[in-house]
Structure formats: C-alpha cells, structure tokens
Amino acid sequence: MTVNLSSSNKQIDTILVLDFGSQYTQLIARRVRESNVYSEILPWDIDEGKIKLINPKGIILSGGPDSVTNSYTPRVPQIVFDLNIPILGICYGMQTLAEQLGGQVISSDQKEFGYSELQVTADCVLFSDLGKTLNVWMSHGDQVQDLPDNFDLVAATATAPIAAMQHTTKPIYALQFHPEVTHTEDGKTVLDNFIFKVCGSKKDWKMDDLIGQRIKEIKDQVQNNKVLLGLSGGVDSSVTAALLNKAIGNKLVCVFVDNGLLRKGEAEEVMNTFKENMNLNVIKSDSEEVFLRHLKGVEDPEQKRKIIGRTFIDVFDAEATKLKDVHFLAQGTIYPDVIESSGSESKEARVIKSHHNVGGLP
C-alpha cells in the first residue's frame, strides 16, 4: 500500500522506481501505470524516510550511465534491503545489486547495444508463461561475471552469460536487458509478472484518480488567488490549462507568446481553441520580430534552443509585469521533456538536449 489519493482517502498500491540516471526510467513508471498500478520515480539517494512513507509494494532499480567498477558511483540505499520487499534490478540496477551483495561486475570487451537473443535457462516467475527464447533490448558495457551468494542464474545471451538472476529465497530479481522498452519481446509481461505475481499489487489506480487528486490539491493551494500560465498550445501546457481551468476557472490567466516559429495558422488555432472555444483568459503577445532578430545568423540547434528559451523568458516576464494580483506561476511538462532534459530530481541522467521552451533558464 502507499499513496493516499486525497480526494477520496483511498490507499493504493505503489511500485517505487529508484532512478540511477537511465533515459528509460520514465518508461518503467509508464509501463507500471499502464497496468493500472501506481508508480512513482525517486532519485536513488532519496531520504529513506520518504521511501518508508511511500511504503511501496515493490522497488524497481533503473538502469544508468555509470559503471559500478568505478568509485563513488550510485549504490542501492540500505533501506531498500531492510524493507524486505520485492526488488527488481534492471541493467545498472542489476549490476549494482550484484556488486553490493557480493558478486563481481566487470567491464566487458564485448558491449551489447541493440537486440540480443535471451535464453531462459531456469524456472523464474518473471518468465512465467513465456517461451525459453526471447528477443530483448540490451544497452550495457559492464556485466555480472560472478553471481552473489544465494543467487541462481536464470537467463543468458551470447555475450552476457549472466543476463538474469534471482535470489534463492528472497523476492530479489535482476535483468541485464530492458523490459520497459517496446523493443523487448514480451517485456511488458515480464514487468507484469513482477508487479502482480511477485509484489501482489492490485489494479487499483487509473488516471482519473490522479486528475481528481490534482484538482483538489490545486484548489487547496490556490484558493481565491490568480495563477499565471505560459500557454503554447502544446500537450503539456494545454493539459495544464485544462486542469487548472477545472480547478480554479476564471482565476487562471494564460499568456500565449507567438514567437513566429509556429506552423502556418497555428497561433490563430491556439487562440480560437482556448480563448473562443474554452473561454479561457488568454493574453497574446505578438513577438515574432523579437525572436527572429535574436535568431538571425544562428545555425547551431543547441544555441537556437538557448536563445529561444532566454527570449521567451524575457517576453513572458514583460507580459507578467503588466498583470496585477497574480500569486502563482504554473508550468506543465511531459515525460519526453523530462527525459530529454535529464529530469528534475535525478542528478545522474545524461542530458540529450536542453528543453526547447526553458533551455535558456540558468
């Protein structure tokens, strides 16, 4: 059991994902939620009190870019083992799990990136009702060479002799491949077997529960004050606008910055959708000239993102100063943005590129 949905006082089962910096971490949580089980992501070094507060049914250790053969790389906090609940390590999560429990991890000369054929060599609940051969997605340089004590080999690939392992008496499992990506054959089933057959989770969560919870939280926090939102017409800000509108109605003030970089007719479409059809309070800032002037002669994509981000903040701030009695600033995001920009809480994820909207922020 874990999360309290405040709108209904309903206690729900939660699978906790500890993030070691993998760009796939958010996919793990998404796969769990697709099975109607709530999942929450926390950085690997989160305070143990927060883990206890969540009281998860099971913990998944994500992959990550580091090597356990180096000093000062992330490790599984002791509280994870002390809780005596099911654990699933994925990629780096498997490697640090093995190393911390007494196994040996080496940097392999044969790195695996892409598809590999997995041979299941022993009975394991994770592979229940699946064949003995699976096409899986690998992305690793290190590998487990020697199993920790009280662990059995479960599966192998041509270049990873230990590609899956399980504890002989405790519900601790580890996979070198990534079951969370769609490239892995039956990866969703592997995760479901852990979620339901190992952890005993109930299908007691759905997105509607989260929406109701967030609306109540917004109402409780905002009360009768105004909220300012930067509205672009994209998925993240549009959903945020709709959610805030449900919660606080006309106390929401949106600023739409037309930067001149949108598709033909898109600015008019945004205004028509949100101002005319949804009756939101939307202020339009015609700033095409400002953006294009700052971008003139710039070719590097990353530099363009930085310029767009800085210019957006300047324009948005100028519009905000014209408003009165605004107490809150709202911003929405989506998992792909979190992935590409390394996440908000995790210190380990490698940046793919700066965020296209706020890349200019310090």
C-alpha to C-alpha distance for 81 and 189, rounded to whole angstroms: 25
Q: Annotated catalytic, 140? A: no
Q: Token pair 């899956």 is at which residue? A: 164
**Phi and psi angles of residue 305, each rounded to the nearest 5 degrees, phi first:** -60, -40
Marked catalytic residue, from 99, 140, 178, 348? 178
| Tokens found for residue 221 | 């926090």
Is residue 139 within 8 Å of 91, Cβ to Cβ? Answer: yes
List the one residue out of 108, 71, 103 whose CA is nearest residue 89: 103
Sheet holding 172-175, edge to edge: 38-43, 14-19, 58-61, 87-90, 172-175, 164-167, 151-156, 104-120, 133-146
Q: Annotated catalytic, 91? A: yes
Extract long-range pairs of 121-124: CB within 8 Å, 24+ residues apart: 121/153, 121/154, 121/155, 121/156, 122/152, 122/153, 122/154, 122/155, 122/166, 124/154, 124/155, 124/164, 124/166, 124/173
Q: Annotated catalytic, 254? A: no
Q: Which residues pair with 104 in a beta bridge?
A: 146
Q: How far is CA 309 from CA 81, 268, 321, in A?
A: 43, 22, 18
Is residue 321 within 8 Å of 271, Cβ to Cβ? Answer: no
Marked catalytic residue, from 99, 124, 140, 180? 180
Using DSSP's 3-state secondary structure scheme, residue 60 falls into strand
Based on DSSP, count helices (H) and strands (E) in the chain, helices before strands: 11, 15
Residues 6+ apart with CB under 8 A from 276: none
Q: Catalytic positions, please?
A: 91, 178, 180
